[in-house]
Amino acid sequence: MMAMLDYIPLRGQLKLNEPMQQHTSWRVGGTADRFYQPADIDDLANFLRQLEPNEPLHWLGLGSNLLVRDGGLRGTAIALFGVLDAMQPLPDDMVEVEAGVSCAKLARFCAKHGLVGAEFFAGIPGTVGGALAMNAGAYGGETWSKVISVETIDRYGQRHRRTPADFVIGYRSVISDREEWFVSSCFALTAGDSDASSRKIRKLLRQRAESQPLSLPSCGSVFRNPVGDHAARLIEASGLKGYRVGGACVSAQHANFIVNDAKARASDIEQLIVDISDRVFADHGVRLQPEVRVVGEAVKENGRGR
């Protein structure tokens, strides 16, 4: 709900009861009470200042690491993809990138400007904001290994400059004691051969296309790799390739992918995540931890979320 004090007209798009299946890579999910796409970072700050202090907020990039339950989201979803999308090279082989830029676009931008070390971002199916939030990685690279500083915004619209020392950073984990969200980052790279970097990106994308089920809706890797092993190996060793719940199925191409190949519901995917975790634990004594965030409300027997 919007607060009425000090109202300044918004320039972004506000939608009510927006179907989240249109904004998640699994193509599932109920509706968000409110869905806002800001015009730019100043408009985002203005929007946040006008919200009630207890308004639930859900931040969205490409929706590639997100499972929205069938009962939908209470509160407001804020979509940054395609909006906070500025990038600029800086002195000393650095680049500043806003949170709504796709990771693949960042990789290509760096290669174009002769900055190497960001090629692995081409394998991350999300935005820079999402990559920062979970320390996403691919092909041996991790997001926060390149971060010099980040800019965050709090729910009152105040912006802050933070460094890696302000966070507890681990494997697919970034923890902060502040209620703030990423809006941009400064990455430190290395000057190098632009053509060689572009060739490396093309090679990584070919590898990704050959090993992952990119033609079907998925969220990318579902589970974190346990120490010293790979989630995909454990899932495959448990005979779960092709295992199905409703319209959701463990990919026959890559066992750590769940694909929506038959009009799945979010509840199908969530149950499949539980089944995989339970089976692998029973077979191997390893409890797989999901990378994907599960949010929203389940649909109860009367068809309504709670």
Q: Which residues are catalytic?
A: 172, 221, 291
| Amino acid at residue number 108 | R
d(CA 223, CA 230): 9
Q: Is the Cα dihedral 103, 106, 108, 111 positive or negative? A: negative
d(CA 300, CA 218): 25
Which contacts of 298-306 are long-range, i.e. CB under 8 A and separated by 24 or more positions? 298/69, 298/70, 298/71, 298/267, 299/30, 299/69, 299/70, 299/71, 299/267, 300/71, 304/71, 305/30, 305/69, 305/70, 305/71, 305/72, 306/71
Q: At which residue do the structure tokens 């920062």 appear?
A: 132
d(CA 80, CA 101): 8
Partners of residue 249 on adjacent β-strands: 244, 259
Quick one: DSSP state of residue 5? T
| Three-state DSSP state, 169 | strand
| Amino acid at residue number 141 | G
| Three-state DSSP state, 17 | strand
d(CA 198, CA 203): 9
